Amino acid sequence: MAHDDADSTTTEAPTRATRHIGLSLGADICWPKCYEQILEILDPVIPWKGHDIRLQVERVTMEPYDLAQPCKYDVVLDRLTHWLPTTREWLKKAILMDEVYVLNNPWSIQSMEKHTTYAAMMHLGMPVPRTWMVPPKSYEDHPDLRRTLHNYAKLFDLGAVGEEIGYPLFMKPYDGGGWRGVSLIKNEKQLRQRYEESGAQVMHLQEAILPHEDFVRCLGIGPQTRLIRYDPNAPLHDRYTMAVDFVDDDEARLLRDTTLTINSFFAFEFNSCEALKSEGVWHPIDFANACPDSQVTSLHYHFPWLVLANLRWSIYCAVTERPMQRTPDWKPFYEIAEQKDMPYEEKLRAYGAIAEKRFETERFQDFCDTHLKDLEEVAWEYFGSAPARQAFREKVQALYPPHEVEQFTELFWKRVQRWRQDNKPGVTTETRQTVTEA
C-alpha cells in the first residue's frame, strides 16, 4: 500500500535533498566497508514529500568541537557510546541541539546497565533467572569510606547467599561487558574464591539455567529481528550456528516479542537478547547488549543480514526524518504488567504490539517495499564480489595470526556464500523475514 508520506500526488517538480548518515566506529572493519560499498552501488534516489532524497555516508571523527557548532548528520550509527565519553557527550549535544537521530540513545546506554534491565523485565513478568546483587569485595579509597562501611555495611554470609540461589550459578559484573568477569560457580568453595578475585567490581549472582535445551541470540535492529542458535562453548567463529527453522512459529513470535519489548522499553534500536530454553520456558538471561557483535568473523552466515538491516533502518530513519525517542516511556508497559489476571503470554503479545507501533513496523516495511526493492539483489551480488571478500580478509587479518589468515578468510567466505545460496533473489525472499521472523 502507498503512504501519503511519499507525496506522490504533487505536481511540482521535486527538489533535490541529501540526508547525511554518520558511522561512529571503533575497531569495526568489515561491516562499515560493506555498508558503504552496497549503498554506493545502490545509489538510491527516494521521492519523499516533494524532494528527491539522496544518501551520503561518512565516518565520524573525534576532535575538539564547539558546543554551538552545527552537526551535519541526520542519522548516526554509533558504536562508541558505551565506553568512549568524548563521543558519547558529542552525541548528546547533537541530539539536544541539532535533533540528530542516533542509534542507540546515549543516555539509555549510559544508564541502563544489566542490573536495570533485569529489574525492569522482571517487573514486566519475564522469566529472568533468580538474581542477587552482592557488595564488592573491596572498595576504592575515599575519605568517607571507612565511616560509611563501619556504620552501614552489614556483614553477610556469602555461602548462605549461594545456598539460597542454588548451584550451579553464575557470578558476573552487574553492568556486564563482553563476558568480562563471568564465572560458572559449582560450589561454595568456588564462590568464595571467585568473590575474593572480583576486587572492587559489583557482582551479580544469578541462577544458572542448567541443563537447557536451547540457547539463542536474537539480534534486533529497529523492527527487524534475527533469531540465531548460539553455542557459548564453541570457538568464537562457531558460536553463532547456521541452524535454521529450529523453533516453531509460536516460539519465534515469543522471542521476537521479547526482543522488541526490551528494545522499545529501553529505547535501544540495535541490541542482542540472549535466552535459554529449559523445560519449555524461554528465560531471558542477557539483554543489555546495545553494541552487539557485528563482525563477519563471528556472525559469518548471518553477517549479510546485519548489514542489510543496518542499511534499511538507517535509510528509513534518515529519509523520513523519524523523530528520535529521547526519553523512556514506560507507562504503557506498566499498565499491562499491572493486570494481574492476564496470562504472561498475553501480556508479552501486548508489550510486543506497543513495540511494533513504536518501531513503525508496517510503515517501515511499506517504505522498504516501495523504495528499497532493489537492495536485496544488489547486496546478493555484492556479497559474492571481490570487494566483499577483501573486507572479510581485512577483518581476519586484524584478529588472526598471519598463518591462519587465508584459512579463516576462506571459511567465512564460504559461509556467506551459503547465505547467498539460501537467499537468492526470486527464490527465497528474506525481505519479509526481517519483520516476521525472530
Q: What is the pLDDT of residues 293-303, one digit of tens each?
A: 999 999 999 99
- pLDDT for 435: 43
- Give dist(CA 16, CA 206) in Å, integer: 55
Region 229-236: mean pLDDT is: 94
Give pLDDT tens digits for 137-175. Answer: 999 999 999 999 999 999 999 999 999 999 999 999 998
- CA 70 to chain CA centroid, Å, is 28
pLDDT at 208 over 80: yes
Residue 143 grid coordinates: 575519605
Least Cα distance to 287 among 113, 148, 68 occurs for 113
Residue 3 has pLDDT above 60, yes or no: no
pLDDT per residue as tens digits for the range 112-128: 888 999 999 999 999 99
- Segment 185-214 shows an average pLDDT of 96
Indicate if the pLDDT at residue 136 is higher than 50. Answer: yes
Domain boundaries, the chain: 4-111, 130-207, 214-314+335-433
Condensed to tens digits (0 to 9), the pLDDT of residues 363-412 reads 999 999 999 999 999 999 999 999 999 999 999 999 999 999 999 999 99
The partner residues of 52 in beta bridges, in order of sequence, read 16, 47
Contact 76, 60 (CB under 8 A): yes
Compute the average pLDDT of residues 37-57: 97
Check pLDDT > 50 for residue 32. yes
Name the grid cell of 255. 522471542
Average of per-residue pLDDT values in the chain = 93
Which percentage of the chain shows pLDDT scores above 90? 87
For 177-209, letters b (16+ CB in 10 Å) and e give: beeebbbebeeeebbeebbeebeebebbbbbbb
Which of the four pLDDT bands, split at 50, 70 and 90, describes residue 14? confident
Over residues 408-433, mean pLDDT: 83
Q: What is the pLDDT of residue 432?
A: 40
For 4-111, the fitting CATH number among 1.10.10, 3.40.50, 3.30.70, 3.40.1350 is 3.40.50
Question: Has domain 130-207 been given CATH number 3.60.40.10?
Answer: no
pLDDT at 426: 80
Give the per-residue pLDDT at 34.
98
Q: According to the model, what pLDDT value does residue 427 have?
A: 66
Q: Residue 52: pLDDT band by 50, 70, 90 thresholds?
A: very high
Are the CB atoms for 91 and 105 separated by under 8 Å? no
Q: Which residues contact 125 (CB under 8 A, 6 or more apart)?
A: 337, 344, 347, 348
- Give the span between the Cα atoms of 65 and 73, in whole angstroms: 15
- Angle between helix 405-422 and helix 386-399 axes, rounded to 10 deg: 140
Which residue in the block uniquely carries the three cell numbers 591462519?
404
Distances in Å between the Cα of 395 and the Cα atoms of 29, 292, 298, 383, 388 are: 6, 16, 11, 15, 11
pLDDT at 268 over 70: yes
Largest CA distance in the chain: 77
pLDDT at 253 > cutoff 80 = yes
Mean local confidence (pLDDT), 285-291: 90
Q: How confident is the model at residue 11 (pLDDT cuts 50, 70, 90)?
A: low
